[in-house]
Amino acid sequence: MATDTEVDLTPRLKTDEMLINMGPQHPATHGVLRLILTLDGEIVRHTEPILGHLHRAQEWQGQNRTWFQYQALIDRVDYLSGMFTSWAMARAAEVVDGCEVPERAEYLRVMVSEMNRITSHLLWLGTYLIDLGAMFGFPFYPFREREKLLELFEEIAGQRMMFNYIRIGGVMRNPKDAWLSKLKKFTEEFPDRVDEYEAIVTENPIFLKRTKGVGILRKELGMDYGITGPSIRASGVNIDLRRTKPYSVYPKLKFDVPVNDRDGDTFDRYIFRIREMRQSNEIIKQCLDMLPQGEISGKKQIAGLRVKAGEGFAAVESPRGTLGCYIISNGSDRAYRIKWRNPSFCNLSILPELLKNHPIADVMAIFGSIDVILPDVDR
Amino acid sequence: MRNGAEILKLGTLTITWWCIIFGAVWIACYLVGVALPMMLSSYDSDAARMTAETLKALTPILSVLVFIPINAMFMVLIERRALAIFTVRLGPNRVGPDGYLQTAADAVKLLFKEDITPHGADAFMFTLAPIVFFAPSIFGAMPLLAAVTNYHELFQIVNLPTGIFFILAASSVPVVGIVMGGWASNNKYSLVGGLRSAAQAISYEIPLVLSLVTICLLAGSLDVVQIAKQQSGGILNWNILGGGALRGLDAALALKFSNSAPALQELSEKSFDQVLKSSYVEPTMAALGLSAGQESMAGIIAVVAVLVLIAATFIAYGLYMTGACAEINRIPFDLPEAESELVSGYNTEYSGIKFAIFFLAEFTNLFIVASIAAVMFLGGGDCPVPAWLGTMLGGPQLASVINQALTPLIQIKLVDPPTLFAAIWVILKVYSIVFFAVLIRGTLPRFRIDQLMDFGWKRLIPLSLIVFLLVVFAREFVNVHVGS
């Protein structure tokens, strides 16, 4: 009950919101993302991502380069999982062209792609731990395994990151037996290595404190924003193109798609990527056993490569989500129109929602957990 | 075993740098504190005597000024190399032989870099901040010098009866420099870093000071020299193991195992059990006013009290190290300079020599908190081997052999054996703690600021108060360092 003598306890100090500009030259924004944060003390009230610092007109370039040239260029779209961008474009072009892909080539594609998924997740793991402030120590251990895979890529594709290995109609090179046995050795020891990371990270109390209950992504919200990939599977949506819209030889392979049974937080997004790495390892093992002999390309890989007139769309499940490519061809040596559907761009759109009312220290913990590659956002 | 080779290299590097650092300090101290005054003493005039006395008085300051820059260079190097081993890398190994001179080159580079004052910054405060940050690390640790040199005559001048109090007071000044730098930089990241640092320092100073107060309570003194001296005679007397609660056990063991020269003269006639009884059971009976028939009960109480004291001092050590890590902004408490959030926190805008001073002071502070831990908890310059065990293993013979070998140096007063041994043990202890801090840096992620505050106020402070109370009660039943 209010009385005459009641003391006014509302604070007299005037507080104000502070605008802080994070990036594009901030050490932790994974490239050139600029975030304009409105802070109330240390709490983020509003976020505005500014995109486009890395825009390279990749779609326009597709219309001005021959198919053969553009194949080499699109690895740069998502530089951590170049196999998937090549694969998405190759599949879209194959849909338009109607050419057959030999089975051996399909197995090789699955194999190198899953290897690429592992390297991508490993790099994510390392950088994510750096985002959480573990500047040294375990961030470097994932790079040890990644290095082995990169060496295998180097051997088969001649490049460590910009592979240009998956081509329209097939793949570029046949692996040697030594390469296959090296890969087999890797798949055998890799689960132990993942156990090692889990031993040091998954039960680390500070890590748990920083990730559990932070940046909870509600299932419905995620679906509204069109989030794909491990981020949404960690929030309970069972969408994985390898299973829900099977392509290539995935129907013949045995593997689980881990899906959460509740709304996921950053810890879930971490643990589901770890589980995915284990599944990818299983897929590689099976491919090595089932790899048939035969041709590796259904189309002649020449500079004047042409795709028949028509239009078509194809998508693959990249480490970050659904990576789609839409192609219109008029039968010439270059595309009439190319449009990309990039998972990073869609996943980044949720960031302002996730960051709302979190402290500034969580900005990087949450941003890192949705695994965005900036060239993939800006193209 | 590539790692094995790397660890070996790290060991060689460490020993080489130790020789460089301590050789330089030793020679500087000798020249100014001993050789020059000896030369001056041949002139029979007041001016010469006064000059000699002044030189002697300046020796501690000179030793610190020589020590700090070289030592910081070494610590940065060792941190980078050790972290490289933890993280399956090689680390700096190009400048000089196997990277020995990397940080020296870095220091030169920093000194010659352009010194930028950002637009809109408060230039005076901006310049003052690194000085305020660095100055306490020069004078703050002075009282420790007397403790770590086994009270050498040249360093007696810096000893204070309230030494630990002075050290703690000085160690809380640098945060003013951080806030100053953060505010003066005209940068929001710096400002947030500076304010975080203030909040953090206030929260973590409490458990840190309480853990040291616990030790002072057991020692009955604030004088670091006295605290160090009380702990002499092996690991059983160190403050980390009950703060003197095991002295009786030490004496009894000495009686049992050494055929000659028992540790305490008046006990020489008694047996092992009698010594234990007189040091543990009798004080408990006196404290509780028990009659002669209740000896077994008194014995149990005494054992419990001793165990409580050991646990309490051990936890106090943990609390001190945690608080110290927060105080000097080391991972996992490096929020003032959290790289993934605040770019570089309070020193974002600093470059050139001002940044170098910040950097220098950070590593010096690490060294200082490690030395405080070594003196307050780990016995200062004391050899960890108990004296009676040392005698059995031939310690005195070894010492006399070393003394013999050093005789020419002792004669010209270049070497004082007790100081030399104390210095060696202190170096080993301090750098073990430093290595431990590096290991932690290579292992843990960073706290969030609200979690850090929770941890400090809701966990560490209550825990340190409990430890303090336990010690207050338990020491009633056991003879500790006080009064011995």
B21-56 pLDDT per residue, tens: 888 988 888 888 888 888 888 888 888 888 888 888
On the 0-12 / 13-18 / 19+ scale of CB atoms within 10 A, B173 is: middle
Q: What is the residue whose two structure tokens read 């006395």?
A: B53
Residue to substitute from A206, A209, A362, A367, interface B, most B β-carbons within 10 A: A206
Q: How many CA atoms are closer than 13 Å to the CA of A365, on its beta-carbon side?
A: 29
Question: For every residue of chain B, which 3-state class applies, written as one string?
Answer: CHHHHHHHHHHHHHHHHHHHHHHHHHHHHHHHHHHHHHHHCCCCCHHHHHHHHHHHHHHHHHHHHHHHHHHHHHHHHHHHHHHHHHCCCCCCCCCCHHHCCHHHHHHHHHHHCCCCCCCCCCHHHHHHHHHHHHHHHHHCCHHHHHHHCCCCHHHHHHCCCCHHHHHHHHHCCHHHHHHHHHHHCCCHHHHHHHHHHHHHHHHHHHHHHHHHHHHHHHHCCCCHHHHHHHCCCCHHHCHHHCCCCCHHHHHHHHHHHCCCCCCCHHHCCCCHHHHHHHHHHHHHHHHHCCCHHHHHHHHHHHHHHHHHHHHHHHHHHHHHHHHHHHHCCCCCCCHHHCHHHHCCHHHCCCCHHHHHHHHHHHHHHHHHHHHHHHHHCCCCCCCCCCHHHHHHCCHHHHHHHHHHHHHHHHHCCCCCHHHHHHHHHHHHHHHHHHHHHHHHHCCCCCCCHHHHHHHHHHHHHHHHHHHHHHHHHHCCCCCCCCCC
Which of A168-172, B388-392, B465-469, B470-474: highest mean pLDDT?
B465-469
Which of B339, B341, B445 faces A360 most closely, judged by CB atoms? B341
Tokens of A149: 């895979």
Strand partners, A34: A50
Tell me the average pLDDT across B6-12: 85
Tokens of A233: 């599977």
- Which three-class secondary structure state does DSSP give residue A238? coil
Low-confidence ranges of chain A (pLDDT < 50): 1-3
pLDDT at B10 over 60: yes
Give the minimum alpha-carbon distance from A22 to chain B in angstroms, rounded to a whole number: 9
List of residues 6+ apart from A74 with CB closer than 8 A: A58, A62, A82, A85, A86, A89
Give the minimum alpha-carbon distance from A82 to chain B in angstroms, rounded to a whole number: 27
Which of B188, B442, B445 faces A206 most closely, judged by CB atoms? B445
Q: Do B340 and A132 touch (CB under 8 A)?
A: yes
Give the minimum alpha-carbon distance from B450 to chain A in angstroms, rounded to a whole number: 9
Residue to substitute from B76, B341, B438, interface A, most A β-carbons within 10 A: B341
Residue type, A129: L
Which of A140, A207, A361 faces B338 most closely, judged by CB atoms? A361
List of residues 6+ apart from B88 with CB closer than 8 A: A140, A141, A144, B3
Which of A131, A135, A207 faces B331 most closely, judged by CB atoms? A135
**What pLDDT shows up at residue B258?**
65
Which of A20, A138, A144 faces B188 most closely, judged by CB atoms? A20
CB atoms within 10 A of CB A4: 4
Distance CA B128, CA B130 (A): 6
* Chain B residues lying within 8 Å of A18, measured CB to CB: 188
Q: Look at chain B and count its residues.
A: 484
Query: pTM here?
Result: 0.84
Q: Do B340 and A134 touch (CB under 8 A)?
A: no
List of residues 6+ apart from A135 with CB closer than 8 A: B331, B339, B441
CB atoms within 10 A of CB B327: 24
Domain annotation for chain A: domains and CATH numbers: 18-373 (1.10.645.10)
Give the minimum alpha-carbon distance from A131 to chain B in angstroms, rounded to a whole number: 5
B60-90 pLDDT per residue, tens: 888 888 888 899 889 998 888 888 888 778 8
Contact indicator for B457, B210 with CB cutoff of 8 Å: no
Strand partners, A37: A20, A47
What pairing do the DSSP bridges indicate for beta strands A18-22 and A34-40?
antiparallel
Give the minimum alpha-carbon distance from B352 to chain A in angstroms, rounded to a whole number: 20
Distance CA A288, CA A325 (A): 28
Packing angle, helices B295-327 and B417-441, rounded to 10 = 70
The secondary element (H helix, E strand) that includes residue A339 is strand A335-341
> Exposure pattern of A183-204 as b/e (b: 16+ CB <10 Å)?
beebbeebeebbeebeebbeeb
**What pLDDT shows up at residue B456?**
87
List of residues 6+ apart from B234 with CB closer than 8 A: B250, B382, B383, B384, B385, B386, B387, B388, B389, B390
Which of B340, B442, B450 faces A131 most closely, judged by CB atoms? B340
Residue to substitute from B348, B447, B448, interface A, most A β-carbons within 10 A: B448
Distance CA B161, CA B168 (A): 14
The secondary element (H helix, E strand) that includes residue A325 is strand A321-329
Which of B89, B444, B448 faces A134 most closely, judged by CB atoms? B444
pLDDT at B484 over 50: no
The secondary element (H helix, E strand) that includes residue A37 is strand A34-40
**What pLDDT shows up at residue A142?**
84
Distance CA A53, CA B182 (A): 29
Q: Do A361 and B189 touch (CB under 8 A)?
A: no
B273-324 pLDDT per residue, tens: 777 777 777 777 777 777 777 777 788 888 888 888 899 999 999 999 999 8
Q: How many CA atoms are closer than 13 Å to the CA of B181, on its beta-carbon side?
A: 32
Residue A27 contacts B where some CB pair is shorter than 8 Å: yes
Question: Which segment of A9-18, B90-99, B141-150 scores lowest on mean pLDDT?
Answer: A9-18
Q: Do B442 and A210 touch (CB under 8 A)?
A: no
Residues 35-64 on A with a CB inside 8 Å of B are 42
Contact indicator for B243, B219 with CB cutoff of 8 Å: yes
Q: Do A134 and B446 touch (CB under 8 A)?
A: yes
* Chain A residues lying within 8 Å of B86, measured CB to CB: 136-137
Nearest Cα residue to A80 out of A34, A115, A35, A128: A115
Tokens of A260: 């959460």
Residue A153 contacts B where some CB pair is shorter than 8 Å: no
Q: Do A27 and B339 touch (CB under 8 A)?
A: yes
B350-407 pLDDT per residue, tens: 888 888 998 888 888 889 899 999 988 988 888 888 877 887 788 788 888 888 888 8
Distance CA B324, CA A108 (A): 55
Distance CA A144, CA A125 (A): 12
Strand partners, A48: A36
Residue of B nearest to A20 (CA): B188
**What pLDDT shows up at residue B2?**
58
Nearest Cα residue to B71 out of B22, B8, B26, B9: B22
Q: Do B445 and A210 touch (CB under 8 A)?
A: yes
Q: Do A359 and B334 touch (CB under 8 A)?
A: no
**What pLDDT shows up at residue A45?**
87
Distance CA A281, CA B116 (A): 52
Count of helix runs (H) and strand runs (E) in chain A: 15, 8
Residue A213 contacts B where some CB pair is shorter than 8 Å: no
> Exposure pattern of B457-483 as b/e (b: 16+ CB <10 Å)?
eeebbebbeebbebbeebbebbbbbee
Contact indicator for B197, B178 with CB cutoff of 8 Å: yes
Q: Do B341 and A28 touch (CB under 8 A)?
A: yes
Distance CA A117, CA A219 (A): 24
Contact indicator for A261, A303 with CB cutoff of 8 Å: no
Handedness of CA B143, B145, B146, B152 (dihedral sign): negative
Strand partners, A341: A324
Instruction: Give, as one character, the DSSP assignment of residue A28.
Output: T
Distance CA A342, CA A132 (A): 26
Phi-psi sector, A134: left (phi>0), alpha (psi -120 to 50), beta: beta
Q: Do A129 and B445 touch (CB under 8 A)?
A: yes
For chain B, list residues whose CB is within 8 angstroms of any CB belonging to chain A. 83, 86-89, 188-189, 192, 331-332, 334-335, 338-341, 343, 441-451
Contact indicator for B379, B247 with CB cutoff of 8 Å: no
Residue of B nearest to A143 (CA): B88
- Which three-class secondary structure state does DSSP give residue A217? strand
Tokens of B191: 């400002």
Which of A137, A204, A360 faces B86 most closely, judged by CB atoms? A137
Residue of B nearest to A18 (CA): B188
Packing angle, helices B352-376 and B295-327, rounded to 10 = 180
Give the minimum alpha-carbon distance from B115 to chain A in angstroms, rounded to a whole number: 21
Residue of B nearest to A131 (CA): B340
